[in-house]
Amino acid sequence: MILLRRILFYLLMIAYLISCPLTILYALGVIYKPTQGDRFVKTGLIYLSTVPQGATIYLEDSRFTEKTPAMLRNLVPGNYRVKIVSPGYREWEQPIPVMAERASVLDYILLTPENRRSKQIIQGDFSDVTGFKENRYLLLSAGNNLEDYAVLDTNTRTLYRLAEKFPDFEGTRVRHAWSAPRSSDLVLELIQNGLSHYLKYDVGSVKGSGKTLPLLGNDKVEFLSWSEENSNYLYVLRGHRTERLDFSEDPVLPLVISEEVHGFGAANHHLYILKPDGSVVKTNSEGKEAEYLLQAEPSKRMSLFSPDEFYRIESYRSDLLIFTGAKGELIANRMPYRFLEEGLRGKAYDKKTKRLLIWTKDKLGILDFIKPESAPDEAFEAGPKLSWEFQSGQNIEQAYWVYEASHVLYRDGNKVYLLNLETYGKAKSELLVSVKNRSSIAYSDETGFLYYLDDGQGNLEQMEIWPKQQALSLPFPERKEMIWKKDRNE
Protein backbone atom coordinates (compact mmCIF):
# COMPACT_ATOMS: atom_id res chain seq x y z
CA MET A 1 0.00 0.00 0.00
CA ILE A 2 2.85 2.40 0.88
CA LEU A 3 4.60 1.54 -2.41
CA LEU A 4 1.38 2.15 -4.34
CA ARG A 5 0.95 5.54 -2.68
CA ARG A 6 4.53 6.51 -3.55
CA ILE A 7 4.05 5.48 -7.18
CA LEU A 8 0.80 7.49 -7.36
CA PHE A 9 2.49 10.51 -5.74
CA TYR A 10 5.37 10.46 -8.21
CA LEU A 11 3.00 10.07 -11.17
CA LEU A 12 0.96 13.07 -10.00
CA MET A 13 4.16 15.06 -9.46
CA ILE A 14 5.37 14.28 -12.99
CA ALA A 15 1.96 15.22 -14.41
CA TYR A 16 2.04 18.50 -12.48
CA LEU A 17 5.56 19.35 -13.63
CA ILE A 18 4.50 18.78 -17.24
CA SER A 19 1.05 20.38 -17.18
CA CYS A 20 1.87 23.46 -15.09
CA PRO A 21 4.33 25.02 -17.57
CA LEU A 22 2.01 24.10 -20.48
CA THR A 23 -0.89 25.78 -18.70
CA ILE A 24 1.14 28.91 -18.06
CA LEU A 25 2.35 28.97 -21.69
CA TYR A 26 -1.23 28.47 -22.89
CA ALA A 27 -2.36 31.43 -20.81
CA LEU A 28 0.42 33.46 -22.42
CA GLY A 29 -0.70 32.45 -25.91
CA VAL A 30 1.91 29.74 -26.55
CA ILE A 31 0.92 26.16 -27.39
CA TYR A 32 2.77 22.95 -28.20
CA LYS A 33 2.27 21.67 -31.76
CA PRO A 34 3.78 18.23 -32.40
CA THR A 35 2.74 18.52 -36.06
CA GLN A 36 5.07 21.52 -36.49
CA GLY A 37 8.37 19.90 -35.67
CA ASP A 38 7.66 19.24 -31.97
CA ARG A 39 7.93 22.90 -31.03
CA PHE A 40 6.11 25.61 -29.10
CA VAL A 41 4.15 28.10 -31.24
CA LYS A 42 3.06 31.62 -30.32
CA THR A 43 -0.61 32.14 -31.09
CA GLY A 44 -2.93 34.98 -32.06
CA LEU A 45 -6.64 35.67 -31.76
CA ILE A 46 -9.69 36.88 -33.68
CA TYR A 47 -12.22 39.31 -32.21
CA LEU A 48 -15.66 39.63 -33.84
CA SER A 49 -18.54 41.95 -33.00
CA THR A 50 -21.69 42.21 -35.12
CA VAL A 51 -24.89 44.21 -35.53
CA PRO A 52 -27.17 42.62 -34.53
CA GLN A 53 -25.38 40.76 -31.74
CA GLY A 54 -25.86 37.12 -30.82
CA ALA A 55 -24.80 35.69 -34.17
CA THR A 56 -23.37 32.16 -34.45
CA ILE A 57 -19.69 31.80 -35.40
CA TYR A 58 -18.13 29.00 -37.43
CA LEU A 59 -14.34 28.67 -37.49
CA GLU A 60 -13.50 26.55 -40.53
CA ASP A 61 -16.22 23.88 -40.16
CA SER A 62 -16.47 23.95 -36.38
CA ARG A 63 -19.19 25.86 -34.54
CA PHE A 64 -17.81 28.18 -31.90
CA THR A 65 -19.46 27.94 -28.50
CA GLU A 66 -19.82 31.70 -27.90
CA LYS A 67 -21.93 34.09 -29.94
CA THR A 68 -20.95 37.58 -31.08
CA PRO A 69 -19.31 39.60 -29.66
CA ALA A 70 -16.70 36.91 -29.11
CA MET A 71 -12.96 36.37 -28.90
CA LEU A 72 -11.39 33.31 -30.56
CA ARG A 73 -8.13 32.72 -28.70
CA ASN A 74 -5.01 30.59 -29.07
CA LEU A 75 -5.08 30.30 -32.85
CA VAL A 76 -1.97 29.12 -34.65
CA PRO A 77 -0.80 31.75 -37.19
CA GLY A 78 -2.40 31.26 -40.60
CA ASN A 79 -5.56 31.99 -42.57
CA TYR A 80 -8.93 30.93 -41.18
CA ARG A 81 -12.29 30.72 -42.91
CA VAL A 82 -14.84 32.39 -40.63
CA LYS A 83 -18.59 32.30 -41.15
CA ILE A 84 -21.22 34.20 -39.17
CA VAL A 85 -24.89 33.17 -39.24
CA SER A 86 -27.94 34.97 -37.83
CA PRO A 87 -31.67 34.31 -38.55
CA GLY A 88 -33.11 36.83 -41.03
CA TYR A 89 -29.68 37.90 -42.28
CA ARG A 90 -27.40 36.76 -45.07
CA GLU A 91 -24.44 34.59 -44.19
CA TRP A 92 -21.24 36.54 -43.62
CA GLU A 93 -18.08 34.72 -44.64
CA GLN A 94 -14.48 35.90 -44.93
CA PRO A 95 -10.95 34.55 -44.70
CA ILE A 96 -9.24 36.15 -41.70
CA PRO A 97 -5.45 36.03 -41.24
CA VAL A 98 -3.97 35.44 -37.79
CA MET A 99 -0.51 36.58 -36.71
CA ALA A 100 1.44 35.55 -33.64
CA GLU A 101 0.83 37.78 -30.60
CA ARG A 102 -1.63 39.90 -32.57
CA ALA A 103 -5.40 40.34 -32.61
CA SER A 104 -7.24 40.32 -35.93
CA VAL A 105 -10.14 42.62 -35.09
CA LEU A 106 -13.44 43.09 -36.93
CA ASP A 107 -15.56 44.88 -34.35
CA TYR A 108 -18.03 46.72 -36.63
CA ILE A 109 -19.53 43.96 -38.77
CA LEU A 110 -22.92 44.91 -40.26
CA LEU A 111 -24.96 41.83 -41.14
CA THR A 112 -27.08 42.30 -44.27
CA PRO A 113 -30.85 41.67 -43.92
CA GLU A 114 -32.19 39.02 -46.28
CA ASN A 115 -34.94 41.45 -47.30
CA ARG A 116 -33.95 45.09 -46.91
CA ARG A 117 -37.16 47.11 -47.01
CA SER A 118 -38.01 50.76 -47.41
CA LYS A 119 -40.98 52.77 -46.16
CA GLN A 120 -42.83 55.47 -48.08
CA ILE A 121 -42.89 58.75 -46.17
CA ILE A 122 -44.64 61.11 -48.60
CA GLN A 123 -46.33 60.38 -51.90
CA GLY A 124 -45.53 62.95 -54.55
CA ASP A 125 -43.68 63.61 -57.76
CA PHE A 126 -40.57 65.16 -56.22
CA SER A 127 -37.40 65.85 -58.20
CA ASP A 128 -34.79 66.26 -55.44
CA VAL A 129 -34.21 65.97 -51.69
CA THR A 130 -31.60 67.58 -49.41
CA GLY A 131 -31.12 66.90 -45.71
CA PHE A 132 -29.94 69.28 -42.99
CA LYS A 133 -29.60 69.28 -39.20
CA GLU A 134 -28.71 65.55 -39.25
CA ASN A 135 -31.76 64.95 -41.50
CA ARG A 136 -34.20 66.27 -38.92
CA TYR A 137 -35.38 68.39 -41.85
CA LEU A 138 -35.55 67.57 -45.55
CA LEU A 139 -35.78 70.15 -48.34
CA LEU A 140 -37.99 68.72 -51.09
CA SER A 141 -38.39 70.16 -54.56
CA ALA A 142 -40.77 69.28 -57.39
CA GLY A 143 -39.69 72.00 -59.82
CA ASN A 144 -37.69 75.22 -60.13
CA ASN A 145 -40.09 77.78 -58.64
CA LEU A 146 -40.59 78.71 -54.98
CA GLU A 147 -44.04 77.10 -54.81
CA ASP A 148 -42.38 73.80 -55.80
CA TYR A 149 -40.27 73.76 -52.62
CA ALA A 150 -41.24 72.37 -49.22
CA VAL A 151 -39.51 71.40 -45.96
CA LEU A 152 -40.39 68.19 -44.12
CA ASP A 153 -39.87 67.73 -40.38
CA THR A 154 -39.02 64.02 -40.24
CA ASN A 155 -39.88 63.80 -36.54
CA THR A 156 -43.41 65.22 -36.76
CA ARG A 157 -44.00 64.51 -40.49
CA THR A 158 -45.04 68.18 -40.87
CA LEU A 159 -44.63 69.66 -44.35
CA TYR A 160 -43.97 73.41 -44.74
CA ARG A 161 -44.54 75.05 -48.14
CA LEU A 162 -41.96 77.80 -48.65
CA ALA A 163 -44.25 79.92 -50.84
CA GLU A 164 -46.53 80.34 -47.81
CA LYS A 165 -43.68 82.05 -45.94
CA PHE A 166 -42.73 84.34 -48.82
CA PRO A 167 -45.95 85.13 -50.73
CA ASP A 168 -44.37 88.13 -52.45
CA PHE A 169 -41.97 85.82 -54.26
CA GLU A 170 -44.46 83.21 -55.45
CA GLY A 171 -43.70 82.26 -59.04
CA THR A 172 -40.02 83.23 -58.81
CA ARG A 173 -37.26 80.78 -59.72
CA VAL A 174 -35.06 79.28 -57.02
CA ARG A 175 -31.46 79.46 -58.17
CA HIS A 176 -29.73 78.07 -55.11
CA ALA A 177 -30.47 76.83 -51.58
CA TRP A 178 -27.98 76.73 -48.69
CA SER A 179 -28.57 74.95 -45.39
CA ALA A 180 -26.69 75.14 -42.11
CA PRO A 181 -25.27 71.71 -41.20
CA ARG A 182 -26.25 71.82 -37.52
CA SER A 183 -29.11 74.31 -37.42
CA SER A 184 -32.57 74.61 -38.93
CA ASP A 185 -31.74 77.62 -41.13
CA LEU A 186 -32.10 77.84 -44.90
CA VAL A 187 -30.99 80.61 -47.25
CA LEU A 188 -32.56 80.75 -50.70
CA GLU A 189 -31.41 82.72 -53.74
CA LEU A 190 -34.40 83.72 -55.91
CA ILE A 191 -34.35 85.26 -59.37
CA GLN A 192 -37.04 87.89 -59.95
CA ASN A 193 -36.99 90.16 -63.00
CA GLY A 194 -33.41 89.12 -63.64
CA LEU A 195 -32.25 90.17 -60.17
CA SER A 196 -31.15 88.03 -57.21
CA HIS A 197 -32.97 88.13 -53.89
CA TYR A 198 -31.94 86.27 -50.74
CA LEU A 199 -34.34 84.83 -48.18
CA LYS A 200 -33.60 83.26 -44.80
CA TYR A 201 -35.98 80.71 -43.35
CA ASP A 202 -35.80 79.18 -39.86
CA VAL A 203 -37.66 75.88 -40.06
CA GLY A 204 -37.06 75.04 -36.42
CA SER A 205 -39.00 77.95 -34.93
CA VAL A 206 -42.43 77.24 -33.48
CA LYS A 207 -44.32 78.17 -36.63
CA GLY A 208 -41.41 78.52 -39.00
CA SER A 209 -40.28 82.06 -39.72
CA GLY A 210 -39.17 83.64 -42.98
CA LYS A 211 -37.08 86.76 -43.48
CA THR A 212 -35.91 88.70 -46.51
CA LEU A 213 -32.28 89.79 -46.54
CA PRO A 214 -32.42 93.20 -48.18
CA LEU A 215 -28.86 94.08 -47.26
CA LEU A 216 -27.58 91.49 -49.73
CA GLY A 217 -29.48 93.44 -52.33
CA ASN A 218 -28.83 92.31 -55.88
CA ASP A 219 -25.14 91.58 -55.42
CA LYS A 220 -24.32 88.03 -56.39
CA VAL A 221 -23.30 85.89 -53.43
CA GLU A 222 -20.64 83.41 -54.49
CA PHE A 223 -20.06 81.58 -51.22
CA LEU A 224 -21.73 81.16 -47.84
CA SER A 225 -20.28 79.74 -44.65
CA TRP A 226 -22.20 79.14 -41.45
CA SER A 227 -20.58 79.75 -38.09
CA GLU A 228 -20.35 76.75 -35.76
CA GLU A 229 -19.90 79.17 -32.86
CA ASN A 230 -23.11 81.12 -33.37
CA SER A 231 -26.01 80.06 -35.64
CA ASN A 232 -26.91 83.74 -36.09
CA TYR A 233 -23.62 84.36 -37.93
CA LEU A 234 -23.53 83.88 -41.69
CA TYR A 235 -20.42 84.70 -43.72
CA VAL A 236 -20.83 85.63 -47.38
CA LEU A 237 -18.40 86.27 -50.21
CA ARG A 238 -19.17 88.96 -52.77
CA GLY A 239 -16.41 89.43 -55.28
CA HIS A 240 -13.29 89.07 -53.14
CA ARG A 241 -14.85 90.70 -50.06
CA THR A 242 -15.99 88.65 -47.07
CA GLU A 243 -18.76 89.93 -44.78
CA ARG A 244 -20.41 88.65 -41.63
CA LEU A 245 -24.17 88.93 -41.15
CA ASP A 246 -25.55 88.77 -37.61
CA PHE A 247 -29.25 87.84 -37.66
CA SER A 248 -29.68 88.64 -33.97
CA GLU A 249 -29.40 92.33 -34.91
CA ASP A 250 -32.25 94.42 -36.27
CA PRO A 251 -31.55 95.70 -38.80
CA VAL A 252 -28.92 93.26 -39.97
CA LEU A 253 -25.81 95.18 -40.94
CA PRO A 254 -22.85 93.60 -42.75
CA LEU A 255 -19.49 93.54 -41.00
CA VAL A 256 -16.59 93.53 -43.46
CA ILE A 257 -14.12 90.82 -42.48
CA SER A 258 -11.61 91.17 -45.30
CA GLU A 259 -11.51 93.10 -48.57
CA GLU A 260 -9.30 90.65 -50.46
CA VAL A 261 -9.59 86.90 -49.92
CA HIS A 262 -8.68 83.93 -52.09
CA GLY A 263 -10.00 81.39 -49.61
CA PHE A 264 -12.24 81.36 -46.55
CA GLY A 265 -13.70 79.12 -43.86
CA ALA A 266 -15.31 79.32 -40.41
CA ALA A 267 -14.64 76.58 -37.85
CA ASN A 268 -13.52 75.95 -34.27
CA HIS A 269 -14.65 79.47 -33.23
CA HIS A 270 -12.23 81.04 -35.71
CA LEU A 271 -12.10 82.35 -39.26
CA TYR A 272 -9.47 81.13 -41.71
CA ILE A 273 -8.48 83.44 -44.57
CA LEU A 274 -6.26 82.76 -47.57
CA LYS A 275 -4.74 86.04 -48.74
CA PRO A 276 -3.72 86.90 -52.33
CA ASP A 277 -0.03 86.33 -51.56
CA GLY A 278 -0.68 82.78 -50.34
CA SER A 279 -0.55 83.56 -46.63
CA VAL A 280 -3.05 81.84 -44.32
CA VAL A 281 -4.43 83.81 -41.37
CA LYS A 282 -6.58 82.75 -38.41
CA THR A 283 -8.78 85.43 -36.77
CA ASN A 284 -11.67 85.69 -34.36
CA SER A 285 -15.29 85.85 -35.56
CA GLU A 286 -14.94 89.58 -36.31
CA GLY A 287 -11.80 89.23 -38.41
CA LYS A 288 -9.55 90.58 -35.63
CA GLU A 289 -6.68 89.17 -33.55
CA ALA A 290 -4.99 87.84 -36.67
CA GLU A 291 -2.48 85.00 -36.34
CA TYR A 292 -0.42 83.90 -39.33
CA LEU A 293 -0.51 80.13 -39.83
CA LEU A 294 1.41 80.34 -43.10
CA GLN A 295 3.35 83.44 -44.07
CA ALA A 296 4.34 83.28 -47.71
CA GLU A 297 7.82 84.42 -48.63
CA PRO A 298 7.99 86.85 -51.59
CA SER A 299 9.93 84.34 -53.68
CA LYS A 300 7.41 81.55 -53.00
CA ARG A 301 4.08 83.37 -53.18
CA MET A 302 1.18 81.19 -54.29
CA SER A 303 3.53 78.24 -54.74
CA LEU A 304 1.03 76.05 -52.93
CA PHE A 305 -2.20 77.64 -54.16
CA SER A 306 -3.34 78.54 -57.67
CA PRO A 307 -3.58 82.35 -57.98
CA ASP A 308 -6.82 82.30 -59.99
CA GLU A 309 -8.85 79.97 -57.75
CA PHE A 310 -10.96 80.46 -54.65
CA TYR A 311 -10.49 77.86 -51.91
CA ARG A 312 -12.94 76.64 -49.33
CA ILE A 313 -11.15 76.16 -46.03
CA GLU A 314 -12.23 73.66 -43.40
CA SER A 315 -10.68 72.97 -40.03
CA TYR A 316 -11.86 69.66 -38.64
CA ARG A 317 -9.65 70.06 -35.59
CA SER A 318 -7.31 72.74 -34.29
CA ASP A 319 -4.22 71.41 -36.07
CA LEU A 320 -5.75 70.34 -39.38
CA LEU A 321 -6.70 72.57 -42.33
CA ILE A 322 -8.19 71.32 -45.60
CA PHE A 323 -8.30 73.49 -48.73
CA THR A 324 -10.45 72.58 -51.75
CA GLY A 325 -10.31 74.46 -55.05
CA ALA A 326 -12.93 74.92 -57.75
CA LYS A 327 -11.15 72.47 -60.09
CA GLY A 328 -11.09 69.75 -57.45
CA GLU A 329 -7.73 70.41 -55.82
CA LEU A 330 -7.23 68.94 -52.36
CA ILE A 331 -4.58 70.57 -50.18
CA ALA A 332 -3.83 70.05 -46.48
CA ASN A 333 -1.39 71.49 -43.98
CA ARG A 334 0.24 68.05 -43.82
CA MET A 335 3.02 66.70 -45.98
CA PRO A 336 3.02 66.28 -48.93
CA TYR A 337 0.38 69.09 -48.87
CA ARG A 338 -1.13 68.54 -52.34
CA PHE A 339 -3.07 65.25 -52.34
CA LEU A 340 -5.19 65.83 -55.47
CA GLU A 341 -4.48 68.14 -58.38
CA GLU A 342 -8.04 67.96 -59.71
CA GLY A 343 -11.20 65.90 -59.72
CA LEU A 344 -12.32 66.08 -56.08
CA ARG A 345 -16.11 65.99 -55.87
CA GLY A 346 -16.66 65.82 -52.14
CA LYS A 347 -15.33 64.86 -48.72
CA ALA A 348 -16.49 63.86 -45.24
CA TYR A 349 -14.42 63.80 -42.05
CA ASP A 350 -14.85 61.33 -39.20
CA LYS A 351 -13.68 62.87 -35.92
CA LYS A 352 -13.34 59.61 -34.02
CA THR A 353 -11.05 57.83 -36.48
CA LYS A 354 -9.46 61.06 -37.80
CA ARG A 355 -10.00 59.96 -41.38
CA LEU A 356 -11.15 62.00 -44.36
CA LEU A 357 -13.38 60.27 -46.91
CA ILE A 358 -12.91 61.75 -50.40
CA TRP A 359 -14.45 60.92 -53.74
CA THR A 360 -13.87 61.67 -57.39
CA LYS A 361 -16.00 60.66 -60.38
CA ASP A 362 -14.88 57.02 -60.22
CA LYS A 363 -13.01 56.53 -56.92
CA LEU A 364 -13.53 56.50 -53.16
CA GLY A 365 -10.46 57.14 -51.02
CA ILE A 366 -9.47 57.65 -47.40
CA LEU A 367 -6.89 60.06 -46.01
CA ASP A 368 -5.76 58.86 -42.60
CA PHE A 369 -4.64 61.77 -40.42
CA ILE A 370 -3.61 59.68 -37.43
CA LYS A 371 0.09 60.43 -37.20
CA PRO A 372 1.98 57.32 -38.37
CA GLU A 373 4.96 56.08 -36.43
CA SER A 374 8.22 56.64 -38.32
CA ALA A 375 11.09 54.20 -38.04
CA PRO A 376 14.04 55.49 -35.95
CA ASP A 377 16.35 55.49 -38.98
CA GLU A 378 13.94 57.40 -41.27
CA ALA A 379 15.24 60.87 -42.10
CA PHE A 380 11.82 62.23 -43.11
CA GLU A 381 8.61 62.08 -41.13
CA ALA A 382 5.82 60.09 -42.77
CA GLY A 383 2.74 62.06 -43.80
CA PRO A 384 -0.94 61.08 -44.11
CA LYS A 385 -1.59 58.11 -46.34
CA LEU A 386 -4.18 58.21 -49.13
CA SER A 387 -5.66 54.79 -49.89
CA TRP A 388 -8.15 54.24 -52.71
CA GLU A 389 -10.70 51.74 -51.42
CA PHE A 390 -12.91 51.64 -54.53
CA GLN A 391 -11.88 52.54 -58.07
CA SER A 392 -14.57 51.32 -60.45
CA GLY A 393 -17.32 53.91 -60.12
CA GLN A 394 -19.13 55.55 -63.02
CA ASN A 395 -20.41 58.85 -61.64
CA ILE A 396 -19.99 59.07 -57.85
CA GLU A 397 -21.72 62.20 -56.58
CA GLN A 398 -22.37 61.65 -52.85
CA ALA A 399 -20.81 59.61 -50.04
CA TYR A 400 -21.28 59.25 -46.28
CA TRP A 401 -19.50 57.50 -43.43
CA VAL A 402 -21.58 54.71 -41.85
CA TYR A 403 -21.32 53.05 -38.42
CA GLU A 404 -18.10 54.26 -36.83
CA ALA A 405 -16.53 54.78 -40.29
CA SER A 406 -16.58 51.02 -40.94
CA HIS A 407 -18.67 51.37 -44.10
CA VAL A 408 -19.33 53.98 -46.78
CA LEU A 409 -22.73 54.76 -48.27
CA TYR A 410 -22.41 56.29 -51.73
CA ARG A 411 -24.52 57.27 -54.73
CA ASP A 412 -23.13 56.38 -58.13
CA GLY A 413 -25.48 57.85 -60.75
CA ASN A 414 -28.96 56.75 -59.72
CA LYS A 415 -27.81 53.72 -57.70
CA VAL A 416 -26.96 53.64 -54.00
CA TYR A 417 -24.34 51.25 -52.64
CA LEU A 418 -22.89 50.29 -49.25
CA LEU A 419 -19.12 49.70 -49.28
CA ASN A 420 -17.82 47.38 -46.55
CA LEU A 421 -14.44 48.50 -45.15
CA GLU A 422 -14.58 46.14 -42.16
CA THR A 423 -12.59 43.42 -43.86
CA TYR A 424 -9.09 42.00 -44.21
CA GLY A 425 -9.71 41.48 -47.91
CA LYS A 426 -10.81 43.78 -50.71
CA ALA A 427 -13.59 46.23 -49.86
CA LYS A 428 -16.85 45.10 -51.48
CA SER A 429 -19.96 47.07 -52.49
CA GLU A 430 -23.56 46.00 -52.00
CA LEU A 431 -26.30 47.52 -54.19
CA LEU A 432 -29.06 48.89 -51.96
CA VAL A 433 -31.53 50.72 -54.16
CA SER A 434 -32.05 52.67 -57.38
CA VAL A 435 -33.23 56.27 -56.97
CA LYS A 436 -34.86 58.81 -59.24
CA ASN A 437 -32.56 59.98 -62.00
CA ARG A 438 -30.57 63.16 -61.13
CA SER A 439 -31.89 63.22 -57.57
CA SER A 440 -29.81 63.37 -54.40
CA ILE A 441 -29.96 61.23 -51.27
CA ALA A 442 -29.87 62.24 -47.61
CA TYR A 443 -28.28 60.12 -44.89
CA SER A 444 -27.40 60.72 -41.24
CA ASP A 445 -25.37 58.31 -39.14
CA GLU A 446 -27.08 59.80 -36.07
CA THR A 447 -30.25 57.90 -37.01
CA GLY A 448 -28.99 55.26 -39.46
CA PHE A 449 -31.73 56.19 -41.96
CA LEU A 450 -31.40 56.91 -45.68
CA TYR A 451 -33.92 59.18 -47.42
CA TYR A 452 -34.31 59.09 -51.20
CA LEU A 453 -36.79 59.48 -54.05
CA ASP A 454 -37.92 56.24 -55.68
CA ASP A 455 -37.05 55.73 -59.32
CA GLY A 456 -40.70 55.44 -60.32
CA GLN A 457 -42.94 58.29 -59.19
CA GLY A 458 -40.48 60.30 -57.11
CA ASN A 459 -42.07 59.43 -53.78
CA LEU A 460 -40.00 60.09 -50.65
CA GLU A 461 -38.78 56.80 -49.16
CA GLN A 462 -36.95 55.88 -45.96
CA MET A 463 -34.56 52.92 -45.58
CA GLU A 464 -32.75 51.74 -42.47
CA ILE A 465 -29.06 51.25 -43.30
CA TRP A 466 -28.13 49.91 -39.87
CA PRO A 467 -30.27 49.38 -36.75
CA LYS A 468 -28.72 51.89 -34.39
CA GLN A 469 -31.08 50.94 -31.57
CA GLN A 470 -29.66 47.41 -31.68
CA ALA A 471 -26.00 48.48 -31.85
CA LEU A 472 -24.12 48.22 -28.59
CA SER A 473 -20.59 49.26 -29.43
CA LEU A 474 -18.17 46.71 -27.97
CA PRO A 475 -14.80 47.40 -29.59
CA PHE A 476 -11.82 45.16 -28.95
CA PRO A 477 -11.06 45.66 -25.23
CA GLU A 478 -7.33 44.95 -25.08
CA ARG A 479 -4.21 46.96 -25.83
CA LYS A 480 -4.16 48.93 -29.10
CA GLU A 481 -0.65 47.73 -29.92
CA MET A 482 -2.03 44.18 -30.21
CA ILE A 483 -4.50 45.08 -32.95
CA TRP A 484 -3.49 44.25 -36.49
CA LYS A 485 -5.40 46.01 -39.26
CA LYS A 486 -4.36 44.79 -42.69
CA ASP A 487 -3.63 47.37 -45.40
CA ARG A 488 -5.94 46.39 -48.25
CA ASN A 489 -3.70 48.21 -50.73
CA GLU A 490 -0.70 46.01 -50.03
Output the pLDDT for position 166.
85
- Residue at a domain's end among 110, 139, 173: 110
pLDDT of residue 299: 52
315, part of any domain: no
Helix, strand, or coil (residue 252): coil
Which pLDDT score, from 0 to 100, does residue 373 have? 57
pLDDT at 217: 52
Per-residue pLDDT of the chain (490 residues; tens, 9 = 90+): 676 666 665 555 555 444 444 343 344 444 434 444 445 689 999 999 999 999 999 999 899 999 999 999 999 999 999 999 999 999 999 999 999 989 999 999 999 999 999 999 999 899 999 998 888 999 999 999 999 999 999 999 989 889 988 888 889 999 988 887 677 888 888 888 888 888 888 887 755 556 666 555 556 777 778 777 777 788 888 878 898 888 777 777 788 898 889 999 998 889 999 998 889 999 998 889 999 998 876 555 457 898 888 999 999 888 899 999 999 999 999 988 999 999 999 999 999 999 999 999 999 999 999 866 554 555 556 678 899 999 999 999 999 999 999 999 999 999 999 999 999 989 999 999 999 999 999 999 999 999 999 998 999 999 999 997 776 655 666 544 455 555 544 4
Query: Which domain does 103 fall in, by range?
Result: 2-110
Taking the whole predicted model, whether its pTM rises above 0.85 is answered as yes
Residue 10: CATH number of its domain: 2.60.40.10
Task: Name, in order, each residue with C-beta under 8 angstroms of 428's C-beta and a sequence gap of 6 or more.
Answer: 419, 420
Residue 74 belongs to a domain: yes
Q: Give a yes or no: residue 69 inside a domain.
A: yes
Tell which of 110, 131, 149 closes a domain: 110
Per the domain annotation, does 208 fall within a domain? Answer: no
Three-class SS string for the chain?
CHHHHHHHHHHHHHHHHHHHHHHHHHHCCEEEEHHHCCEEEECEEEEEEEECCCCEEEECCEEEEEECCEEEEEECCEEEEEEEECCCECCEEEEEEECCCCEEEEEEEECCECCCCEEEEECCCCCEEEEECCCCEEEEECCCEHHHEEEEECCCCEEEEHHHHCHHHCCCEEEEEEECCCCCEEEEEEEECCEEEEEEEECCCCCCEEEECHHHCCCCCCEEEECCCCCCEEEEEECCEEEEEECCCCCCCCEEEECCCCEEEEECCEEEEECCCCCEEEECCCCCCCEEEECCCHHHCCCCCCCCCCEEEEEEECCEEEEEECCCCEEECCCCCEEECCCCCEEEEECCCCEEEEECCCCEEEEECCCCCCCCCCCCCCCCEEEEEECCCCCEEEEEEECCCCEEEEEECCEEEEEECCCCCCCEEEEEEEECCCCCCEEECCCCEEEEEECCCCCEEEEECCCHHHCCCCCCCCCHHHEECCCCCC
- Alpha-carbon span 397 to 437, nearest angstrom: 12
Q: Is residue 151 one of the residues assigned to a domain?
A: no
Query: Which CATH number covers residue 374?
Result: 2.120.10.30
Mark which of 63, 90, 110 sits at the end of a domain. Answer: 110
Q: What is the pLDDT of residue 27?
A: 41
Is residue 426 in a domain?
yes
In a domain, 194, yes or no: no
Q: Indicate whether 73 belongs to any domain.
A: yes
Domain count, the chain: 2
The pLDDT of residue 33 is: 46
